[in-house]
Each structure stands twice: as structure tokens, then as C-alpha cells.
Amino acid sequence: METIRADVVVLGAGGAGLRAAIALAEADPALRIALISKVYPMRSHTCAAEGGAAGVIKADDSLEHHFNDTVGGGDWLCDQDAVEYLVREAPKELIQLEHWGCPWSRESNGSVAVRPFGGMIKQRTWFAADKSGFHILHTLFQTSLQFASIRRFDEFYATELLADEGRCAGLTAIEMRSGQIHRFDARAVIIAGGGAGRMFPFTTNGAIKTGDGMALAYRAGVPLKDMEFVQYHPTGLPSTGTLLTEACRGEGGVLLNRNGRRFLQDYGMGPETPLGHPVLKTMELGPRDRVSQAFWHEQRKGNAVPTQWGDAMLLDMRHLGEKKINERLPLVRDMSISYMGVDPVTDPVPVRPVVHYMMGGIHTDIRAATSLPGLYAAGECACVSINGANRLGSNSLTELLVFGRRAALSAMEYVQSGARPGAEAALSAAAVAAQARIRDLMQRGGGTETVAGLRKEMMHTMEQHAGIYRTGDGLAEACGKLADLRRRYARIELHDKTNVYNTDLLQALELGSMLDCAEAVTQSALARKESRGAHQRLDFAERDDRNYLRHSLAFYHPTQAPRVDYSDVVITKSQPGVRDYSGGHK
Ligand SMILES: Cc1cc2nc3c(=O)[nH]c(=O)nc-3n(C[C@H](O)[C@H](O)[C@H](O)COP(=O)(O)OP(=O)(O)OC[C@H]3O[C@@H](n4cnc5c(N)ncnc54)[C@H](O)[C@@H]3O)c2cc1C
């Protein structure tokens, strides 16, 4: 087995991983950095982000506003010290990207343009047309190429963390091209492995978002925090789940039911505003949890629009005109035509809520450190937590930058404080054991289960019981089903037993990650007997601050359900209040 020695291993080359690698390389050119990714960096999901990144830049805005919008939008489950850090660092990071060459869209006077986004009282979302993630990722990628100390391992799939004497000391990864297992020794590891939306059947998430990074940390004993909070984005294309960015509504698009009514005014998000002139924070620019929940109610009232892919609502952008759509939303137009056969210039586009983002993830402190010394996490796989019970659109891209950098600085301090590498004998034994587990999975015969079969059952369970609205009975059933699927996972057999690009093997490993994450979601959701943000219980309809103004922490167990515990929410200056999107400019 080949051993690669680094000071810091970064798992993931999306926005968070690349930002972390650059920060490490800049801060200390002597650091040896290994950047591992199961896909080429530009294929990471960050590339798919459309709408933009939030950061205060205009004179009528303030850090206070950004803080208040984020904390209220998160239904007061955010750690407020982390949010303060986010909003303070955000403009610096976005300007830094500008200096690295990110082509932000402009006002006619040349200054950076911003657009309105859901739940934000001021316009503060920086964007590059509707291809913001592509441009951000490209900027980070090309910047990372300047540093010789960043050694890339593209198409390496990380399988396990290595630990020695209670600290993280590296990981094992499969080189996909050869099937060989490699051992990466490091004094610190940063996980930036992205989200886990693929555990649901209908999602905006790319195929790689299978929660591997979360599962690696979880199995190593680090709890997953607030996993019950799964965000539905209100406007996905019913045919494919492809996202139509919130920027459609930010630019003035409206949502209609089958009667042509802007129904959000009936769900505490009125008053109705003139077409094309959104009143910030209301109507179509309400937060994602509320807008998705409103769709659910409309559907039950029989007000949804039937399509061949099921119920939908209509996203009407016709009044924006062809020029503005082409300038601000070219990708949206392209995708609507390609995937739905509908041109938004001439017709409203059917859309429906779709699984989009995990608010929960690897439990870290404000320094991006986990409870395992030497292990750090940032980006969508982490829960620091700035998103609380519901993320506001355009805060995630900013989070990647701010906490990707933060994780790098923390890891560097840890390494420079004299962290020793793991002992050779311990690491070697752990890596050999990890290799044996992969070999066993590949060569096993007589299996009775298939990856595709178990995955389908898992997705169905999640959609049925862990969706926009949940019940105790449904969640209990889901927990039972997932426990059964985890047991059956031990009996899968791979069709392909060869070494070169064995996607059968990789999908089996990804399924293992998703099953662990899914169980953390349903068990944490079952335990939270209240409704908050994206977690809505029909049997516990109210928010219950007395008992649940707390983060959930799910602790892994190899054969049993996770233990769910709680930790305090950090409140610095905003006491829990009522989320009001009825039109008051608060
Ligand atoms: C369609 C879409 C549009 C979005 N639009 C916006 C937006 O406009 N604004 C906003 O703020 N947010 C948006 N989001 C959310 C945001 O884009 C994501 O949360 C964010 O990009 C995640 O970045 P990341 O660096 O954490 O992970 P990713 O970009 O997903 O990267 C994960 C990395 O981890 C690697 N990896 C994972 N598992 C392994 C493994 N086992 N071994 C090796 N490598 C591994 C992958 O190869 C990849 O490089 C959007 C999301 C989607 C899906």
C-alpha cells in the first residue's frame, strides 16, 4: 500500500475544500497539502450554484441586518457567535474573490451588483448572472493552481479516517483509476465533503452528494448535529428536480396556483406586491421553509397544477421581459426549455419543492474544529452552525469561503503547535484493516441484496416520512426501516469485482454513507417533538423553545440506532422571537 505523507489532508475540492487549501498554502508555504476529491474539482457541486453569495456591500445595508435576517431565518437555532463571524468576514471574502478574478455582475456605474434573496431584508446577494457557483469554483480552482504545495489527488475516494491515540492522523482512499488503496498520513484533516441530499429521490443535488464526509467523521465518533433540518427549495423542475434559482423570484418572478392566485399572501407572506417589484422579505421572497410548506397546503386544498410528473405550481417570469431574462437568468431560460419544453419568456414554468440542502452536519465549534483533535470540517458537510433550522439562500456559498478559510487557519495552528504524526504501527494496522474491509466488500459472494435495490427503498422511506411535514408514527416507521436496511447492507454483493473505475464499489460505499446519514436524520427528527424551520411535525405543530432551543447531536453506533443528545445554542444578542414575513420591514 502506498503511503502519502502530508501535513494537512483536505477531503473535498469544492468551494470549501479549495478555499481551505488556498488559505493553508498562503499562510505557510512550507505546509504539505494533499487535496483529495472523488471527482475533478470543477465537477464538485459548488459548480451548480446559480443565485449568488451574500455579503454586506451597499450603503443601505449593515452587518446587523445580515445577522438578524440569518438568525431569524434560522428560527433562532443558529449559533450567534458563528453568525457574527460569518457576516463580518463575508464582504472580505467576496472582495478577495473579486481580486482573484471572479467576474461578479455589475451595476451600470461599474460597482458590484447585488440582488434580493429570500428572507433578506436588504439586497446583498453578489452574483455572476445565474452561474455564480461556476464562476466562484473556477476562480478558486485557478487560484489553487498557483501553489506548488497543494498536491491534488483527483478521483481518489476517501473511505476511512485514521486515528491514533485519540487524534486524527490521516485517512485511506481508493485511487479510482487503479483500484489501489492509499494511506494518507497527516497531522490534521479538514473534511469538506459536501451535502447528502441524494438520500432523497427528488433533489437538486448532484450525484456525488452522498454524505461521505459526514459519515467518515460520524463513524470516527464525531456527532452529527441538527441532522433533522433538511431544506426543500420551493422551485425545482418537476421533470428532473433541477433547480430554478431563487434569483428568479429575486428578479421579480411570482408563484401562482392553478387559479392564477399568488397564494403566498394566504400564508402570512403578504401583502401582494406589484409584478416585478418584490417587497423584500415577503411573498415570493419569503424564506424557503415557509414557501415550500405553503405549497404543501395548496396541494392539499386541490390548488396545485397537475403535470405529467405530479403536482406543481407556476413560476411566472413573463413580465420580466426577454432582455432581463437573458441578461440575469440565462441558465434558467436554457434549463426550462431543455428540461420542461417551456420558455419562461412566453409561459409560466411548472415548479415544485425539492430537497436541496442539509442544514445539519459534522458538529464543529466556531473554529471549525470537531471533538476529535486534528479533525476539522467546513462547508455543507459541517454544522458550525450559521444556518440553524433553515438556511437563507446565498448564505451557503459565503459559508464555504468564510469557514473554509477558518478551518485552514485552525488546522495550521494545530499543526504548528507541534501536533505529532500518528505512530507508524498504529496507522499501518488501521490502514490494512480498512483495505481488508474494501476487499471483503468487493469479493464477497452469495449476497442477497443489491445496491440499487436498497438505495431505492432508502429514498422512498425518506421521501415518504422525512419530507416537508412529518409525524411521529411516520418517523418511527422510517427509523425501523433504515435499521433494517443497514442490516441488509451487510448482505449486498457487487456485480463488478474488477479494479479499474469500479463504480459498483463506489456506489456501494456511497450507499453506506447515505444510510448512516439518513438514520441520523430520522432519529434526530423523531426525537425533536416540536416544529421549527424546516422540521415540521404535524403532531407537534408549535415551536417549543423551553425544551428544544437546542442542537441535536447524533452519535454513531455500528449496529444500533444512534444515541441522540443535545447541546446549547449560543445566543449573543438576539432573543428568540416571532418570524414575521407579513410585510413589516423588521
Ligand atoms: C443546484 C444548486 C444550486 C445552489 N445555489 C446556491 C446559491 O446560489 N447560493 C448559495 O449560497 N448556495 C447554493 N447552493 C448550495 C451550495 O452550492 C452548496 O451548499 C455548496 O456548494 C457546497 O460546497 P462544498 O464545498 O461544501 O461541497 P461540494 O461543492 O459539494 O464539494 C464536495 C467535495 O467533496 C468531495 N468528496 C465527497 N465525498 C468524497 C469522498 N468520499 N472522497 C473524496 N472526495 C469526496 C467531492 O469530490 C467534492 O470535491 C446550491 C446548491 C445546489 C445543489
Q: What's the whole-number mean pLDDT along residues 6-20?
A: 98
Calculate mean pLDDT across residues 126-151: 97
**Which residue has a Cα nearest atom 44 of ligand 1?**
37
% of the chain surpassing 90 pLDDT:
94
Q: Which fold has domain 2-229+359-424?
A: FAD/NAD(P)-binding domain (3.50.50)
| Residue 377 CA, ligand 1 centroid: distance in Å | 13
Decide: 211 in ligand 1 pocket, CB within 6 A.
no
Question: Between the CA of residue 153 and those of 150, 215, 216, what are the distances in Å?
Answer: 10, 20, 18
Q: Give tens-digit pLDDT for 400-434.
A: 999 999 999 999 999 999 988 889 999 999 999 99
Convert 13-29 to b/e letters by CB count within 10 Å (16 or more is b): bbbbbbbbbbbbbeebe
Residue nearest ligand 1's atom 13 by CA: 49
pLDDT band at 274; cut points 50, 70, 90: confident
Mean of pLDDT over the chain = 96
> What one-character-per-residue DSSP string does 358-369 give?
ES-EEE--TTSB
Q: Which of 7-21, 61-75, 275-289, 376-390 has the lowest mean pLDDT?
A: 275-289
Task: Give the pLDDT of residue 400.
Answer: 98
396 lines ligand 1 (CB under 6 A): yes
Residues 506-524: tens digit of each pLDDT: 999 999 999 999 999 999 9
Top mutation candidate among 18, 44, 156, 376 for ligand 1, by most atoms within 8 Å of CB: 44
- Ligand 1 contacts CB of residue 189 (under 6 A): no
Model pLDDT, residue 277: 67
How close is the Cα of 363 to the center of ligand 1, in Å? 18
pLDDT at 586 over 60: no
**Measured from the CB, is residue 399 less than 6 Å from ligand 1?**
no
- CA–centroid distance, 379 to ligand 1, in Å, is 8
Interacting residues of 492 by C-beta distance below 8 A, sequence separation 6+:
441, 444, 447, 449, 450, 451, 454, 508, 511
Q: Is 132 in the pocket of ligand 1 (CB under 6 A)?
A: yes
180: Cβ contacts below 8 Å, ≥ 6 apart: 1, 2, 174, 499
Ligand 1 midpoint to CA 297 (Å): 30
Q: State residue 494's pLDDT score.
A: 95
Confidence of residue 463 (pLDDT cuts 50, 70, 90): very high
Residue nearest to atom 53 of ligand 1 (CA): 205
Interval 30-83: pLDDT, tens: 999 999 999 999 999 999 999 999 999 999 999 999 999 999 999 999 999 999
Q: What digits encode the pLDDT tens for the residues 74-94?
A: 999 999 999 999 999 999 999
Nearest CA owner, ligand 1 atom 11:
394
Instruction: Tell whether the model's pLDDT for residue 279 goes beyond 70.
Output: no
Is CATH 3.90.700.10 the right assignment for the domain spanning 233-356? Answer: yes
The ligand 1 atom nearest the CA atom of 194: 27
The model's pLDDT over 340-363, given as tens digits with 9 standing for 90+, comes to 999 999 999 999 999 999 999 999
Our CA dihedral for 175, 179, 181, 187, rounded to 10 degrees, sits at: 10
Would you state the cell numbers that stand for residue 533, as one nine-digit string?
424551520
Q: Is the CB of residue 130 below 6 angstroms from any atom belonging to ligand 1?
A: no
Instruction: Tell me the percentage of the chain whose pLDDT exceeds 70.
Output: 98
Burial class (CB in 10 A: 0-12, 13-18, 19+), 543: buried
Give the residue numbers marked as catalytic: 233, 249
Tell me the domain boundaries of the chain. Answer: 2-229+359-424, 233-356
205 lines ligand 1 (CB under 6 A): yes
Burial of 60 (0-12, 13-18, 19+ CB in 10 A): exposed
13 lines ligand 1 (CB under 6 A): yes
**Mean pLDDT of all residues in 148-169:** 97
| pLDDT interval class at 271 (50, 70, 90) | confident
For ligand 1, atom 6, which residue shows the shortest CA distance? 49
pLDDT band at 270 (very low <50, low <70, confident <90, very high): confident
105 lines ligand 1 (CB under 6 A): no
Nearest CA residue ID for atom 24, ligand 1: 194
Pocket test of ligand 1: the residue of 10, 43, 45 to mutate, having most ligand atoms within 8 Å of its CB, is: 45
CB of residue 45 inside a 6 A radius of ligand 1: yes
Task: Show the beta-strand stretches assigned E in 147-304.
Answer: 150-154, 156-164, 167-175, 181-185, 188-191, 224-225, 230-236, 254-256
- Is residue 133 lining ligand 1, measured as CB closer than 6 Å? yes
Residue 585 confidence (pLDDT) above 60: no
Task: Compute the distance from residue 134 Cα to the ligand 1 centre, in Å.
Answer: 11
Q: Which atom of ligand 1 is nearest to the CA of 210?
A: 38
